[in-house]
């Protein structure tokens, strides 16, 4: 079970990192915090949709998977934001 949650965390972390990196390229001088929150909410909605459709393929909705997805997305977004800010 821990391995499953780690996969959710890492997968959504990568998605969050790539999303924030892309936002940073497109919005060079603008504040990225609104983009951070907007991207996180969008990823949370996608994760909720993904978990909600699990019964179609014989799996089950798990709140802990959703929590791992949300945490991974936030960490990935934050890591990219910190790197972008540090690079100037």
> Among 19, 48, 15, 47, which residue's Cα sits nearest to residue 35?
19
Query: Per the structure, how many domains does the chain have?
Result: 1
Residue 29's pLDDT band (cuts 50, 70, 90): low
Cα separations in angstroms, 26 against 4, 36, 55: 33, 13, 38
pLDDT at 75 > cutoff 70: yes
Three-class secondary structure of residue 19 per DSSP = helix
**Domain hosting residue 22, numbered range:** 2-87
Residue 25's pLDDT band (cuts 50, 70, 90): confident
Q: Which residue has the higher pLDDT, 84 or 45?
A: 45
Task: Go through the chain and tell me how many residues it has.
Answer: 88
């Amino acid at each position: 079970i821990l391995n499953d949650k780690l996969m959710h965390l890492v997968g959504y972390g990568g998605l969050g990192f790539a999303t924030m990196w892309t936002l940073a390229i497109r919005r060079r001088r603008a504040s990225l915090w609104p983009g951070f929150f907007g991207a996180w909410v969008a990823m949370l909605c996608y994760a909720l949709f993904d978990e909600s459709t699990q019964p179609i393929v014989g799996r089950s909705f798990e709140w802990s998977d959703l929590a791992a997805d949300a945490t991974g997305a936030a960490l990935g977004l934050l890591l990219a934001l910190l790197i972008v800010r540090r690079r100037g």
